[in-house]
Structure formats: C-alpha cells, structure tokens
Amino acid sequence: MDLASLTLVIVELAQAAGAEIMQIYHSADFTVDRKQDNSPLTAADLVSHQTIVAALQELTPQYPILSEESATLDFAERSQWTTYWLVDPLDGTKEFIKRNGEFSVLIALIHQHEPVLGVVHAPALQKTWYASLGNGAYLQVAQAEPELLSTREPSELVTIVGSRSHAGDSLPAFLQQFENYELISMGSILKACLVAEGKADFYPRLGLTSEWDTAAAQIIVEEAGGAMQDLNGQALKYNSKDSLLNPHFIVSGSQHYFDKTLDN
C-alpha cells in the first residue's frame, strides 16, 4: 500500500475512534481519573487508544506503536525503531471534559525521526485534516469532498492562535512584539491546523508538549507550506532522545513570521 492510500485508511480509523469518543462525550456523565503526572484521563482516552492500537496492529504488524496511553517504553528499545506509529488517542482531554468540542484524535507515522503521514480528526467539529509526504495536505468537513490546504501569505494584521488551557504568562509577553495582531484561543493541536488552513499566521507554543501531541499536525503544516520549528529554527524530530518532551516551538505559515520572532 502506498503512502497516500495508507493515509486514507488511517483517516477512516481516526474517524472510527472519534465515533467511540463521541458516544462517551454525549453520555449523561463520565468519570475523570488522574494519571501520575496529574493530567486527566477518561474512558474516551482509553476506548480510542484500544480502537486505534488494535487496528494498527492488524494493518501493519511490522510497525511498533507508541501511544500516550501505552506503557512507558525505554529509549533503549525505542531507539531501535526506524518506522513506527505515534498516537494521541484524545488530544485535548481538558477540552473534552469542558465539552467545548476542541479535542482531536492524532495518528502519525514516523520514519527516521520525521513524520511522513499525519491525521488530525476533531470528531465534535466533524473535521479531519490529513497529509502524507509529497502528497499535499487536506481538510475534509463531514462528508464533503476534501479541500487542498495552503498556508497564507504575510499581511499587516497578524493572526496568532494560542492555547485555551495552557496560555500561562509566556504568551502575553511574546505578543508584545506585535503592534497589530488578533489572537484566537483554541484547545488541542487544532491551533496548528488553523495555520495549515491559512486561517492563522502562526502558533507559538512556549510550554511543554509531548511528541504525540505534535507529529500528526507537523506533516499537515509542512505539506500545506508551513513549518513547525523549535526556537533554533529546526524542524521537530521524533524518538531521538530519552525524553518524549518537545522543546518550545513555533508553527508558522510563512518563514517571515518565524524570522521576525527570532529578531525580537
């Protein structure tokens, strides 16, 4: 199966996991547990994880799977992987709990430390963004025909998208360098998808994220003409170190904005 065809299969898988999530989302009530790092965990996280992992194991038994809800794997084992699946079964659990719809299913295929396939599915919004290396980036809304995505050119009014639940103090300080901007607040990695769509110019993430939070969106942004780079201007890499935490990064639709932030 070629990469483009595989991507469409993964789109269907992400949508199937999203349907499982929505059953719990629309239920009268659901419990919220806490993981060791005090982050929230719901039945939706677990059912999505189980759905995705079972399907990927059947589809590509040759590729290992690293999911946020998997058991922790030592780097000594992971470092031997050339190609593997990287999954966040429910990105934006806090937004899920708030029932604001801004959460997503993330599935990425990593090859030699770089994402080569990515799907971001927001089930409550009925939107699916997807891309694979060399095949462009697309947005499908409900059952409509997919739309080819492209980032937008710089303009005088800069549209910046920021975290709804993790803004902290860093973002306001960062924004002081811009004289004319508008800020959109949104949960999950959907912020990066807005950049890929050309609806925002860039998204600065000046806080901690994990590798499963970013990989799927990174290839979508890149195939749309943008970049997801650390503060040294390097594209994010995967499974290259013991820690699974990302450095601070900026998602930009145009190199112009990334260069501007570094100048300041």
Mean pLDDT of 207-232: 96
Which pair of tokens denotes residue 253?
């639709």
Which pair of tokens denotes residue 69?
């809800």
pLDDT of residue 83 exceeding 70, the answer is yes
Contact 55, 13 (CB under 8 A): yes
Mean pLDDT of 15-40: 84
Mean pLDDT of 174-190: 87
Q: What predicted TM-score, i.e. pTM, was given to this entire model?
A: 0.93
pLDDT of residue 164 exceeding 80, the answer is no
According to the model, what pLDDT value does residue 261 have? 63
Mean pLDDT of 77-83: 95
Which residues are bridge partners to 130 per DSSP?
119, 138
Q: What Å distances lie between residue 259 and 129, 229, 233, CA to CA?
A: 27, 11, 9
According to the model, what pLDDT value does residue 178 have? 84
- If pLDDT is split at 50, 70 and 90, which confidence band does 104 have? very high
pLDDT of residue 32 exceeding 90, the answer is no
Mean pLDDT of 137-142: 97
Mean pLDDT of 237-248: 95
DSSP letter for 126, please. T
Q: How far, in Å, CA of 196 to CA of 202, rounded?
A: 9
Burial class (CB in 10 A: 0-12, 13-18, 19+), 157: exposed
- If pLDDT is split at 50, 70 and 90, which confidence band does 234 have? very high
According to the model, what pLDDT value does residue 167 have? 53
Give the mean pLDDT of the chain.
Answer: 91
According to the model, what pLDDT value does residue 33 have? 79
According to the model, what pLDDT value does residue 23 have? 93
Does residue 57 or residue 175 have the better pLDDT?
57
Q: What percent of the chain has pLDDT over 90?
A: 68
Which pair of tokens denotes residue 118?
């990515």
Q: What percent of the chain has pLDDT over 70?
A: 92
Q: How far, in Å, CA of 257 to CA of 94, rounded?
A: 29
pLDDT of residue 171 exceeding 90, the answer is no
Q: Is the backbone of residue 116 left (phi > 0), alpha (psi -120 to 50) or beta? A: alpha
- If pLDDT is split at 50, 70 and 90, which confidence band does 94 have? confident
pLDDT of residue 197 exceeding 80, the answer is yes
- If pLDDT is split at 50, 70 and 90, which confidence band does 47 have? very high
- Which amino acid would we find at residue 83? T
- If pLDDT is split at 50, 70 and 90, which confidence band does 185 have? confident
- If pLDDT is split at 50, 70 and 90, which confidence band does 248 have? very high
